[in-house]
Structure 1
Amino acid sequence: MSLLNTTARTIALCFLVALMEGLDLQAAGIAAQGMSNAFALDKLHMSWVFSAGIFGLLPGAFVGGWLADRIGRKRVLMASVALFGLFSLFTALAWNFNSLLLARCLTGVGLGAALPNLIALTSEAAGPRLRGTAVSLMYCGVPLGAALAAVIGIADLSGGWQSVFYVGGVVPLLIVPLLGRYLPESQQFRHAQEAAPISVAKGLFGKGAALPTALIWLSYFFTLMVVYILINWLPSLLIGQGFSGRDASWVMLALQMGAAIGTLMLGWVMDRLPAWALSALIYLGILGSLTALGLVNSVSGMLVAGFVAGFFATGGQCVLYALAPHFYPASIRATGVGSAVAIGRLGAMSGPLVAGKMLALGTGTAGVMLASAPGIFIAAAAMFYLSIRRNNSLPQ
């Protein structure tokens, strides 16, 4: 098998998994109104449903990355896809609030374990020169999968709110045997197995890695906080502003289409723009779109604001995903990426909880969106420094 064919096959299969990951991540937001009605849940209870899934992402990301550096990226990816597929089905069959929380948490464990392996497999198959493009091609599956969830919401299928979880459960289980048959294991992982193992602490904080690790964690934390407020709360916020459920689904579709295009375009330009320009472009775009989402009153305006928010928030996160592997050698790469994703999930988990609390206090949509501004400035500064340090990163 030629190197080009191996790389293309790896990106294609990882894209399929990312597609289903995006669908499952968006599913709770799309189904929120139906779940709320079915189980008589208020906004605070729905915050816990959203955050339960995100809570599962945290240990899943760290353990998934750690295991991948020891037993292989392919094995851990297959197990994680099977896990989130099974518990997405379980979500559709939940019978009360507690079973719903358990299902979302264990779905999150599988989703969390999948992402660092998708990033590691794709970046290692492509190599340092094409890493940004390859990770962007793979990761655009996440917003496209979320857009598919929005389409299911727009279609209002006869299965009710459970429909999106049936799709998010069955399709991943069908993908698992494809991974077993066609996905090649990372050659960099195989070569790293022949070298002396590196401890987690030394790999993340030794030999000049401490500052990049801390900045990666900061940027992931605050950027994912914004992304998950949008994913989980935006449909409900729009309905609270007087838009219909169908209008909200269209805005979510626009957001995810913007995310897919932003992922591809920003990944492509990350090697072509100066670091300061890329950081400023991404985070000014996030600030502007969040302000618009809090202030615009028309459906057309919301569609544009949603598209721009997805373009810069998710697209900017993809740039961070492409940056992180540059700072870790192959023997610790999945652990490094997994730890960053895990820290990012703390931001993702806190975002919906903070938004729910602020709404309960009556701050409204504008207050929720504008409260994200300080974290966005911190993430912008961290990303700026990481972009400059990329060319002087650790061995690849």
Structure 2
Amino acid sequence: MQTISDHRHGGGRALTLAFLAAVIEGFDLQAAGVAAPKLVPAFALTPQQVGLFFSAATFGLIFGALAGGRIADAWGRRAGLVISLVTFGVFSIATAYAASFEQLVAMRFLTGVGLGGALPNLVNIAAESAQPKDRGKAVAIMYAGVPLGGAIASGVSILGLHGGDWQTIFLVGGVMPLVLAPFIHGLLPPLAVVKDQVASAGNALAKVFAPGTLMTTVTLWLSFFLGLVVVYLLLNWMPQLLVSRGLERSEASTVQILFNIGGVLGSLVGGRMLDRPRPAIPVALCFAAAGAALLMLAMLPANLGLMLLGGALVGGAILCVQAILYGVAPQCYPFEIRGTGVGTAVAVGRLGSIVGPLLAGGLVAAGFTPSNVMMSLVPITLAAGLTTVVLLVRRRAAAPAPA
């Protein structure tokens, strides 16, 4: 029977595989946006249909995160990740062959289920591949793959490398996880759990909401929700907000790439802050820096050079704090319910990813300027920082969770 310590001997290999899977995840999350300029006229989609198409994957992510977290606890992290990769690979390819709007939405929803299932498993694989003192850094390295994959997808769009049609991006996004899945299955050390450690689905949820962990769970959920409100508002609306301030659309897309590249570097910084002996103060400073970066971007003039710098700094700061949240989550629960705990937190966070774009749309409709919209994110970011610091202080005061 393999143990957790056996698993850590292959920690470097496990982290490399998790990073590659995260890059593919980031690429596939951006695929719909890359395909949209060609896909929308091909199907003569109305704005409402375009919104539904984009939202379908997001709703799938919620269900996938819940299922992926449960599979991680019941069948192991490796099985959970392989199932998720195959799921979003198959349905991404199926998206390329959709013949109607209804098929597009259904395939994108099912792709989202696979994408959502992958993330709790990736977080847990990364955390469990490292010693406790390095877990934040390990999760941050894995998470850095997501904005890197997004930057690659955006670069493919700008350079016109996706074949001049809308299907190719989904085909490539589907083949990559199917190619990686056998390597995950063959090379990732399995992490078996002794039978009497495996909590049933109901029992696992009961432990997540037990009196001793309820406050931790609620605080973690609130942090994830607020954090993803900010991230997804920026991912969905920043190009449009920049264009409305005077930038060309191609320039705004370039700023978005710099946002993702800054996020790669920021993720790595966040992991290092989380692994410090007393992380609460450096983590609080990271959230304060994120708020300051948003203010700076809101006040910058519509100059491309300044906006490129601002976009990179905002991406670095915002995804730095997001990496911190993903690093904290697996440290909040004991091993036997860690998948369920992380999966539910990720699912609640995805609700924030729905609210963020809707919030921006509501603010713009109410007459908010692009600068005002950016500034409105500052208190949300600081609130997420406050709940995260509370979480870290509580975790430090409590006994450490068993590995």
TM-score normalised per structure 1: 0.91
Matches within 5 A, 1:67-216: 67-157=71-161, 158-186=163-191, 190-195=192-197, 197=199, 199-206=203-210, 208-216=212-220
| Contact persistence 1:51–1:353 (CA under 8 A) | no
Q: Note the residue ranges of structure 1 that are not aligned, 5 or more in a row.
A: none
Task: State how 1:4-23 maps to structure 2 within 5 Å.
Answer: 5-23=9-27
Query: Take 1:310 and 1:243, find their aligned partners in 2: how far apart are those partners?
Result: 18
Give runs of aligned pairs for residues 225-304 of structure 1, distance below 5 A.
225-272=229-276, 274-296=278-300, 297-304=302-309
For the 8 Å contact 1:43–1:356, the answer to whether it is kept is no
Deviates more, 1:213-222 or 1:90-99: 90-99
| CA drift at 1:102 | 2.0
* Contact 1:64/1:338 (8 A) holds in 2: yes
Are 2:333 and 1:328 equivalent residues in the alignment? yes
Letter in 1 for 2:121: N
Deviates more, 1:365-374 or 1:7-16: 365-374
Superposed CA deviations along residues 76-129 of structure 1, whole A, max 9, x for unmatched, are: 211111111122223334444433322222111111000000111221121322
**Shift in CA distance, 368/205, structure 1 to aligned 2, threshold 3 Å:** same
Distance (Å, rounded) in 2 between the aligned partners of 1:298 and 1:60: 41
Cα shift at 1:220: 0.2
Q: Please give the secondary structure, in 1, of the residue aligned with 2:133.
A: coil
| Residues 273 and 279, structure 2, Cα contact 8 Å, conserved in 1 | no
Identity %: 40
Residue 394 of structure 1: aligned partner: 401
Equivalent residue of 2:132, what SS?
coil
Is the 2:92–2:111 contact (alpha carbons within 8 Å) kept by the matching residues of 1? yes
Give, as a single letter, the amino acid of the residue that structure 1 aligns with 2:105: L
CA deviation after TM superposition for structure 1 residue 343, in Å: 0.4
Quote the Cα distance in structure 2 between the aligned partners of 1:360 and 1:96. Answer: 31
The alpha-carbon deviation at position 5 of structure 1 amounts to 5.0
CA contact (8 A) 2:229 2:352 kept: yes
Aligned letter for 1:195?
Answer: Q
**Distance in 1 (alpha carbons) for counterparts of 2:297 and 2:233:** 12
- Whether 2:358 is the aligned partner of 1:353: answer yes
Q: Is the 8 A contact 1:78 1:176 kept in 2?
A: yes
Q: 1:267 to 1:245 in 2, by over 3 A?
A: same
Superposed CA deviations along residues 226-271 of structure 1, whole A, max 9, x for unmatched, are: 1112222323333444433332231121111111101111211222
Bigger mean CA offset, 330-339 vs 153-162: 153-162
| C-alpha displacement of 1:191 | 3.7
- Post-superposition Cα deviations, 1:307-350, rounded to whole Å, max 9, x if no partner, equal 11211211211111111111211110000000000000010112
Preserved contact between residue 323 and residue 390 of structure 1 (Cα < 8 Å)? no
The RMSD of aligned alpha carbons is 2.4
- Mapped partners of 1:304, 1:215: distance in 2: 33
Offset from partner CA, 1:254-304 (integer Å, 9 cap, x none) = 111111101111211222374443343222233233334444311112211
Q: Deviations along 1:111-163, whole A, 9 cap, x unmatched?
A: 10000001112211213222111111211111111111111012112334444
Question: Counterpart of 2:373?
Answer: 368
Residue 31 of structure 2 contacts residue 169 of structure 2 at CA under 8 Å; is this kept in 1?
A: yes
* Aligned mates of 1:290, 1:40 — CA distance in 2: 36
Q: C-alpha distance in 2, partners of 1:366/1:97?
A: 35
Deviation at 1:43, TM superposition (A): 5.0
2-structure distance, mates of 1:150, 1:69: 34
Opposite residue 23 of structure 2, the aligned amino acid is L
Distance 1:164 1:137 in 2: 25
**Secondary structure of 2:212 counterpart:** coil
Aligned residue in 2 for 1:314: 319
Counterpart CA distance in 2 for 1:170 and 1:159 is: 18
Output the CA distance in 2 between the equivalents of 1:377 and 1:49: 32
Counterparts of 1:299 and 1:97, CA distance in 2 = 37
Matched residues in 1 for 2:279 and 2:37: separation? Answer: 41
In 2, Cα distance between the equivalents of 1:385 and 1:78? 35
Q: Assess, with a 3 A threshold, how the Cα gap between structure 1 residues 95 and 191 changes in structure 2: closer, same or farther.
A: closer
